Amino acid sequence: MTDVDPTEIVKGHEKLTEIFGRWPSFHDAEVIGIRLDRRGRDEWEGPVVFVSVHVFEGYREDERSAEIKWRNHTVMTFRFSRVVDISMTDFNQQNAIMDLTFETGRPEIEALTWAGPAYRVTFQPCFGVGLSFVSGSAEVDSVERTCPEGSVYA
């Protein structure tokens, strides 16, 4: 299996790279919502999964400082279409993830979808939700520069 550069496959990735200067690290990002729809924009696009994520970046004001501060708080929503083989575990009050990966290159991934290229999308759990599925399309649906209420990173 091969990791894929998200900027090569996620439509609208510029909405995030404009904020972070690159594709952001999703390490410690918080999944704040997941919505499953059986139909998409037309009869061929579904099922669709929307995943809302609080993403941000850590920094140190001084390289000798042990204190990490947080900036660029952003709540963004992914829209994945032609989703199959979904697995979700342990949704809780925070849902911090270790990483977000997009993988391809295994015949069983391609065999799960009938319409073009497909990717295994994995929200790797740290504390809370683990989410994995195969998707034929990914896009950044919305972006809002904010920190969600109740975040431990506020």
Query: What's the rounded Cα separation, in Å, for the pair 137 and 123?
Result: 16
Instruction: Report domain extents, the chain.
Output: 2-61+68-144
Give tens-digit pLDDT for 2-49: 788 999 999 999 999 999 999 999 999 999 999 999 998 888 888 999
Alpha helices in 41-88 (DSSP H): none
Residues 39, 48 contacting (CB under 8 angstroms): yes
Give tens-digit pLDDT for 41-83: 888 888 999 999 999 999 888 888 888 899 999 999 999 999 9
Q: For the chain, how many residues are written?
A: 154
